[in-house]
Structure 1
């Protein structure tokens, strides 16, 4: 992988964040310093977003509560009408206890009535590392909020690792987090529960575990750029298998591969009738009457519009055995149902949640771990499609793509994505980078609003690629 860009978006799990905190202390940055910076960031975000109004800070007993005590003190010093309600006092001798001792403002009971009276509620009860549902009395206080909620790190009850709601979670209008985003900030439903997200620099030193998870974007990959001596053969050849009843799926994938920059794109027709039909379509599209063994046909897309039969899977396996890079999609997963080993050696696999379940099992408990396991089992880069698309490589690298608009939830959009991936592979991008780039371009290319078709995404691919290239 190339040298990280300075603005690269690493993500940190709650466990990695705890390790980084411990490493910071060993490097000479005490927890008290980090807590003071975090509380200052929360107070700054509140003052930037809201006008002064009665504000209640709900403080938990740990470091998350300590951030809340600091924010309350700073708001109080600025003349902001603020009070604190503590779930429990911090443990004596901790940084949170010191932060609580320095606060001089009002302290109120931790009750639903007090939460309902506040115009702004600051949720500093529990952070991203919580792994159990909130106690009913805590959930009741948060649920009583009558105004906007500002969450510290994550809304209490949200799992920072998986983005799952561990029981009742009061959505936040604004969430302030520190150092790195957590996976739960990007994965659904966590992303929706966090509201607007502010990532604050709290002076964390450059220590801690090496990153293995990223927010996907142009900082993670670089699109191929044709040079002055480039020609169509240098930009690679993509071949898409067409099915007998749904050849439109192959057409969408082919058009996307062409837009993504592949030098030559062909559709292999299943019979002469389909071949004749396809030859009347886009003038730049090549149509093959039968199987090809040309070694220049290096990248293949197998699945869109094909029947879910053993023959489809066997043809894909033959291509893999011949050393081709195969992007597997759609009906291929029905053909491989319950048999993940049959997909070994593919370059990229692009299931949606139902297809993933059929082959690899339920991913919902921890989607990142499930996709990583599928990638390790098959040796393929695996992309789990969705509004929070996850991409994982066999070596454990993973990325979350969060730029897909709801308009992509339309038939054929997945075929377009498979074609973009193939187009980038044909131009020499490594599979993980090609798949991450394709997911981001796919989202950036999609129009928003009603009436969007998969065909409309094709028109935006060039513009999206230009936006990605501008980053560099």
Structure 2
């Protein structure tokens, strides 16, 4: 896992370092120079423009400039405040104008076809939210120090940062409560079935689908099975859907289905509820009853999220009263239904606040998926852990993709993963499965088919 810290946290980490500031700047500048040489492919005959500001970011750039000059590179150091509109031709531009503390709008000079290396974060990108103005210079690579910043993973920042390297300059970030998920994390977390396991070890119950939307139930239940659910039972109220023969179907009424759907629920490891259920009043009432009465961990997706919020009291009492793990999987619109407003510019703060208010693990879908667990202590509303999943792309923006993810999380919960790791690992594998499919024409069922290969690759 790669630590992620906010600008305020990074300032505190810098301030608590036992080494003096000039030592840290020297280490950072050395790392920038090494990254520059790597980008250039050598030093002979190379020309580098270094745009420097007056703060620590600029100081890092000046150290890098000195080191590059010592290696025979022709270096021009340009004061950010006095920058010309167009820089003289170079092989590389080092953007060391402004770092994580910048506020306002930055208009970068034109750099022609030069490569761009950003120091800590592309100048002008908000290091907390990823927001950026139109004048920010896109980087081919960004070298940041000791930990990622949220703005490198979110919003415009994720697009502008290019390839990101994290350089170790000796700071202590062991207390970070936010991390980017890596393949090594998923390989460590994802359960392996015991040699003496039987079909009820890791069984998943799915309640979803309707006459109008049977496909959502098929995707969720099949994904649960492909992800490791040893037995998957589906109840699609009022309809029989065409599933693979391995999916067991228990028929239930179209409206008051909660009692029948939860028969033997204690034998299952998790419940997935919501995909394609619909929003008729009777269905919403039955869905709420299932969520309330389920004696196993629950994944609530799609129409289940709408049902959770469908009462005069809102979702909080229903969800807070659950004693077992509950994972909510909204996109931005569903997040607004659950909380009363869409995520703010600081998406992490929005997700953390919702997880704390609802007492649930919350997975917010997006270009970067954010998973937040509820805090262990009510007095610490930001005390839960946050995971960033960044390996997906636009292929996941297809109908039914979320149903697949819900089924995968259900399997991870059923196999014993903690709720936040179940959500984060499933999101990573879900994206990796999509990455194994063609770039165009992806169907959600293609993701389902690629799940075993994605899991096999981490073993």
Secondary structure, aligned partner of 2:191 = coil
1:78–1:225 Cα change, 3 Å: same
Which residue of structure 1 aligns with residue 69 of structure 2? 76
The answer to whether residue 154 in structure 2 is matched with residue 181 in structure 1 is no
Which residue of structure 2 aligns with residue 210 of structure 1? 175
Correspondence for 2:279 among 291, 305, 308: 308
Secondary structure, aligned partner of 2:267 = coil
The answer to whether residue 104 in structure 2 is matched with residue 132 in structure 1 is yes
What is the alpha-carbon root mean square deviation over aligned residues? 2.0
Contact persistence 2:272–2:406 (CA under 8 A)? yes
How much does 1:411 deviate? 0.7
Moved over 6 A (4+): none
Contact persistence 1:41–1:200 (CA under 8 A)? yes
How much does 1:416 deviate? 0.3
How much does 1:168 deviate? 3.0
Structure-1 separation of matches of 2:304 and 2:280: 8
The answer to whether residue 28 in structure 2 is matched with residue 38 in structure 1 is yes
Q: Could you report, residue by residue, the CA deviation over 1:29-81 in whole angstroms, capped at 9, with x for unpaired residues?
A: 22111111111111111111115433221111110000000011111111111
The answer to whether residue 429 in structure 2 is matched with residue 429 in structure 1 is no
Structure 1, 32-41 or 340-349: larger mean CA deviation = 340-349
Matches within 5 A, 1:264-413: 264-271=231-238, 274-275=239-240, 278=241, 280-290=242-252, 291-292=260-261, 293-294=263-264, 295-322=266-293, 323-335=295-307, 336=309, 339-341=314-316, 342-344=318-320, 345=322, 347-360=326-339, 361-395=341-375, 396-413=384-401
Q: Could you report, residue by residue, the CA deviation over 1:199-246 in whole angstroms, capped at 9, with x for unpaired residues?
A: 212233xx3561110102344451111111110112223233222211
The answer to whether residue 161 in structure 2 is matched with residue 194 in structure 1 is yes
1:128–1:312 Cα change, 3 Å: farther
Q: Could you report, residue by residue, the CA deviation over 1:254-299 in whole angstroms, capped at 9, with x for unpaired residues?
A: 001001111211111322xx22xx3x53111111112232122452
1:377–1:309 Cα change, 3 Å: farther
Matches within 5 A, 1:54-73: 54-73=47-66
1:220–1:129 Cα change, 3 Å: farther
Structure-2 separation of matches of 1:87 and 1:240: 58
Contact persistence 1:116–1:144 (CA under 8 A)? no
Aligned pairs, number = 425
Correspondence for 1:111 among 84, 87, 90: 84
Secondary structure, aligned partner of 2:130 = coil
1:213–1:453 Cα change, 3 Å: same
Contact persistence 1:337–1:358 (CA under 8 A)? no
Which residue of structure 2 aligns with residue 418 of structure 1? 406
Contact persistence 1:240–1:253 (CA under 8 A)? no
TM-score (norm 1): 0.85
Q: Where in structure 2 are there 5+ consecutive unaligned residues?
A: 253-259, 376-383
1:317–1:331 Cα change, 3 Å: closer
TM-score (norm 2): 0.87
Structure 1, 371-380 or 303-312: larger mean CA deviation = 303-312
Q: Where in structure 1 are there 5+ consecutive unaligned residues?
A: 1-7, 89-108
Contact persistence 2:200–2:268 (CA under 8 A)? no
